[in-house]
Amino acid sequence: MVVAGQLVTHGQSRPIELADVAEKGTFAPKGVMAMRLIPGDRAHYSALKAGMGILRYSYETGEQTGTLLTFTDLPESYRKPSDYITSPNGRYILLEYGPEPLYRRSYSADFQVYDTQSKALVPLSAHGKVRLPTFSPNSTQVAYVWKNNIYIVELGTMLEEQVTSDGAVNQVINGAPDWVYEEEFALTTGLFWSPDSRYLAYLRWDESDVREYAMPIYGEALYPTEYRYKYPKAGEKNALISLHVYDGKNLKNLKINTGLEADQYLPRVQWSPRGELTYMRLNREQNHLELLQADLNTGKSTVFFEERDACYIEEPTDWYLTFVPDSPLFIVPSERDGTRQLYLCSMKGGEPQQITRGRDEVKRVYEFNPTEGTVYYQAYDGSPLNLGVFRASILQKKRKGKKLGRERISESQGICSATFMGDYYVLGQQSVGEVPKYTLHSLNGKQIRLLEDNHELKAKLAAYALPEKRFFTFRGPSGDTLNGYLVLPVGYDSTKRYPVMMTQYSGPNSQEVLNRWEVGFDQYLASRGVVVACVDGRGTGGRGREFRKCTYGQLGKLEVEDQIAAAKYLQAQPWVDAERVGIWGWSYGGYMSTLCLLRGADVFCMAVAVAPVTNWRFYDSIYTERYMGLPRHNAKGYDENAPLFYTDALKGKLLVMHGTADDNVHFQNTMRLTEALIRAGKQFDLFTFPDRNHFIYGYGARGYLYTHMDQYITENLLR
């Protein structure tokens, strides 16, 4: 076993309680408050302070230097906004009230428009709660979505114009993503203003032919109600998506010609700084990506970049396309050399020029600084366990066969991230042995001030007996070196034998084995005398294209092989009780823990599965087909690794927990598994959470879940 790092153990005697990690948030580190840009002011930022107002602060000192809005100046019923949006010119502030969540990222809310010049406060719309209010770049208009239609409000007169009229629930959505785009492409809006504010581009989803999924909502009334929404499962019909442009000058809508193929994806739309409308086109199999430019007069589209992959293109993101202002140049990530790196390309064509190179893959782009000619990004830092923040110049000459230069701006090894704001950035840093710390820097790298170092949390930790966390590696069944971590019980004695609880997620491009700070359920279990182990197997991120995409078309097969191999490796250690090895996980991790218990019946004595997928045919089209292909082309891959078909093999103890209103991994998965286990004559344990979604929270549900799991582990692993 190779130890790569460890958490310093504090030597006091106070134990970690389950409520500390499951309910109270005793060890939750502090972050920093949102720092919003103030238009035209490079020295200050704004932030909302509850009970006071929207205040102005100095970047350099952190001191309050003024007030943009004092809440006591507003009518009493409007003094507690949940959030705010400032117009690009700073004159108007949209105040948000009473947000109501829809799905993971979407919600509706009441919005009031505050005019900083006239001090007037007026409703954005007479319709009540609306979605996605978006200022035009010239700050004269706000576009929003109400009942699946798009409206534009002229702020000078507060007159409203309806842009679309065909929106209808479970039929047509204008300007707001459907469920599967929001969930699997992380697309948060379908509204896109042109830089000159003349045009509003928008996406339209026609989901008329998408099949509905229905969920009973038990509530508190005498009879349950039913929630129905469009959910395309793997191989089923998707919504038909189209791109349109509304011309505010001529009051006309233009439909963009996005190609002859209707069964495709348009996961991103973006205006270039020069006013060119561009969008991303992805085929149904998600192995051919194109970037196109649309003609605003004819609607015709022209491809200016494309990528193909034998397996799949990684999930599109907001940062995939980064334009270089005042030029036809742009930056995109690509795996063409075997790892995910950045390339400089031109809309005029030509060979892409590599900006970054090496084994350390790029994780995300933060921004491009035109003054410096540099791109700021996050990438792995010498190991898949570490993430650093870097910058690289796009002006470097391509040096074939040599590593291109990059400058590391993060200061320590661990998990580092950054948020950029004009001339400054906030640098976040943490590691296994260091609680999260946040510092403010100028673009030249100079630290301006410390924002948060979580010293109060450090002092609190000194009173607890914390388990030790160690990283290790071992050789998996494929010959690959796999990364893992152990959380060892307080007072760990290598001459004793301990039960082991394996935890994992294992999904494509995910990672759990990272050099980050955490005191959670792992540490609680270890404080009870359980060794907690986690291994990132094949298919996980940070190891290059081949390692990540080898699971294509056979999700679950190689991942289960690696988890079983990890369990056997641990069983061979003298300090492990080989008869007491369990595994648990949530979502994809729940799918894996179930399948591991069935395929590794002689290895694992128990498993806990929370909200598990039990057959990939039940999951949504975009995610599943990206990694599995279409069911009609890969029926064997879908069925060979579905837990439903291995229930005869169950030997150990199995606990399944699921929310009945899970809009993501449907409760259907657990019900079908239950039926299969009944038919196989296999006893197992089931716990359901009424009206809870995929995250199982609210009214004590999260604490209840962990308490039930803790009891199950006590009965079956600590016996």
Give the model confidence (pLDDT) of 473-529 as tens digits: 999 999 999 999 999 999 999 999 999 999 999 999 999 999 999 999 999 999 999
Under CATH, domain 163-318 is a member of which superfamily?
Dipeptidylpeptidase IV, N-terminal domain (2.140.10.30)
Reported pTM = 0.96
Q: Phi then psi for 476, rounded to 5 degrees?
A: -80, 180
DSSP state of 185: S
Average pLDDT, the chain: 96
Q: How far apart are alpha carbons 551 and 563 in whole angstroms?
A: 14
Q: Poorest-confidence range of 28-32, 86-90, 405-409, 571-575?
A: 405-409
DSSP assignment of 54-86 equals EEEEETTT--EEEEEEEGGGS-GGGS--SEEEE
Over residues 264-282, the mean pLDDT reads 98
Helices marked H in 229-325: none
CATH 3.30.70.20 at 18-26+458-716, yes or no: no
pLDDT at 205 over 50: yes
Over residues 156-171, the mean pLDDT reads 97
pLDDT at 400 over 70: no
> Percent helix, strand, coil in the chain (nearest 5)?
15, 40, 45
Q: Residue ranges per domain, the chain?
A: 18-26+458-716, 31-148, 163-318
Over residues 255-259, the mean pLDDT reads 98
Pairing, β 64-70 against β 83-86: unpaired
Distances (CA, A) of 440 to 56, 185, 368, 387: 16, 31, 19, 18
pLDDT at 6 over 50: no
Q: How far apart are alpha carbons 521 and 543 in whole angstroms?
A: 27
Q: What is the pLDDT of residue 405?
A: 77
Residues 511 and 541: beta-carbon distance below 8 Å: yes
pLDDT at 168 over 60: yes
Residues 668 and 656: beta-carbon distance below 8 Å: no
End-to-end CA distance of the chain: 27
Encode pLDDT of 318-340 as tens digits.
999 999 999 999 999 999 999 99
pLDDT at 300 over 60: yes
Confidence grade of residue 13 (pLDDT, cut at 50, 70, 90): confident
Residues 530 and 500: beta-carbon distance below 8 Å: yes
Over residues 405-415, the mean pLDDT reads 93
Over residues 462-471, the mean pLDDT reads 96
Q: What is the pLDDT of residue 417?
A: 98
pLDDT at 399 over 60: no
